[in-house]
């Protein structure tokens, strides 16, 4: 019976043949820690499957194929297939710098954190840019900051298997903002550690990214409302969540009016009324 690796890396991919090679190669450069890599092909229709086949002979790399089900289902499937004590995610359009996994292993061994991340380099349309100050990573209890925006980057995070499975993984009902929703649930009760060294190159600006699309706040609103409906927040966290929910509802509602989406306007009004914000 073989000994499980320390860290399981999960890369979900859909129609990113060239980009995923860069991501995989950056995992192959990780030294100083036993790892396994699970690449989940989420029903790609380009030549991604053929590009992945070249890694089939590396016994540290496991290729999993599934019908197109979305990034949440792909990540969850990868974790289900994995065996490591810790889980690290890497998006197919990003890449790690050497030393990331070793640094994260050492961080876990010297702290009580169950989830942590590193700082990162931003590349937008091929050019390095400085992330805005409000998106700079913080350590500790970051629930309040995470209400406003996603403060944990999937490609830099590493967490214990126990924590991930204990919170049920990513919600497959979220086609977008699935990371925001999961980190909110986790940061309600757990602090997030931070390694203040850039171990991630995070790429943006390509056409298939969802982050710039109108309407994504609908999923953030849904996540905030779901958190409130559970009734498990402390009074201070509940008040803060209500405040952020009200702001996001107002902004999203105005956008829906502008874009001629009356059904979404009605949805906002129902959420606001149910939350006692009307």
Three-state DSSP state, 101: helix
CA 161 – CA 127 distance, rounded (Å): 35
Q: Is 61 left (phi over 0), alpha (psi -120 to 50) or beta?
A: beta
pLDDT at 208: 57
Q: Is beta strand 158-160 parallel, antiparallel or unpaired with respect to 86-89?
A: antiparallel
Contacts of 234 (CB under 8 A, 6+ apart): none
Residues of CATH 3.90.550.10 domain(s) within the chain? 7-204
CA 203 – CA 141 distance, rounded (Å): 27
Quick one: how far is CA 15 from the chain centroid?
A: 19
CA 223 – CA 245 distance, rounded (Å): 9
pLDDT at 104: 98
CA 221 – CA 155 distance, rounded (Å): 23
What is the H or E stretch that residue 41 is in? strand 35-42
Sign of CA dihedral 84, 90, 95, 101: negative
CA 201 – CA 102 distance, rounded (Å): 17
The correct answer on CATH 3.30.9.10 for the domain covering 7-204 is no
Which residue do the tokens 């990371």 mark? 179
Q: Which two tokens stand for residue 109?
A: 């061994």
pLDDT at 210: 52
Mean pLDDT per 10-residue segment, the chain (278 residues): 90 96 98 98 97 95 97 98 98 98 98 98 94 93 96 98 98 96 98 98 73 78 96 96 97 95 96 92
SS (H, E, C) 112-144: CCCEEEEEEEEEECCEEECCCHHHCCCCECCHH
Which residue do the tokens 């450069």 mark? 29
Q: What is the total residue count of the chain?
A: 278
pLDDT at 278: 81
Closest listed residue to residue 41, CA positions, set 96, 92, 87 = 92
pLDDT at 2: 77
């Amino acid at each position: 019976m073989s000994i499980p690796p320390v860290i399981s890396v999960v890369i979900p991919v859909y129609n990113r043949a060239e980009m995923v090679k860069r991501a995989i190669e950056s995992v192959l450069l990780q030294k100083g820690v036993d790892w396994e890599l699970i690449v989940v092909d989420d029903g790609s229709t380009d030549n991604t499957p053929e590009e992945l086949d070249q890694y089939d002979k590396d016994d540290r790399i496991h290729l999993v194929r599934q019908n197109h089900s979305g990034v949440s289902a792909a990540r969850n499937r990868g974790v289900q297939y994995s065996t490591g004590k810790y889980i690290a995610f890497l998006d197919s359009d990003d890449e790690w710098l050497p030393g990331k996994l070793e640094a994260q292993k050492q961080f876990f061994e010297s702290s009580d954190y169950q989830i942590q991340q590193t700082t990162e380099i931003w590349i937008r349309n091929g050019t390095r840019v400085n992330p805005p100050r409000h998106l700079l990573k913080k350590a500790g209890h970051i629930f309040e900051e995470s209400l406003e925006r996603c403060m944990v980057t999937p490609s830099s995070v590493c967490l214990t298997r126990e924590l991930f499975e204990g919170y049920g993984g990513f919600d497959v009902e979220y086609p977008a903002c699935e990371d925001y929703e999961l980190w909110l649930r986790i940061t309600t009760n757990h602090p997030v550690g931070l390694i203040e060294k850039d171990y991630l190159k995070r790429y943006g600006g390509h056409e298939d990214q969802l982050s710039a699309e109108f309407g994504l706040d609908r999923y953030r609103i849904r996540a905030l409302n779901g958190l409130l409906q559970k009734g498990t927040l402390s009074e201070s966290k509940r008040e803060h969540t209500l405040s952020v929910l009200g702001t996001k509802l107002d902004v999203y509602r105005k956008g829906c009016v502008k874009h001629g989406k009356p059904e979404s306007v009605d949805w906002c009004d129902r959420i606001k009324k149910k939350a006692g914000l009307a």
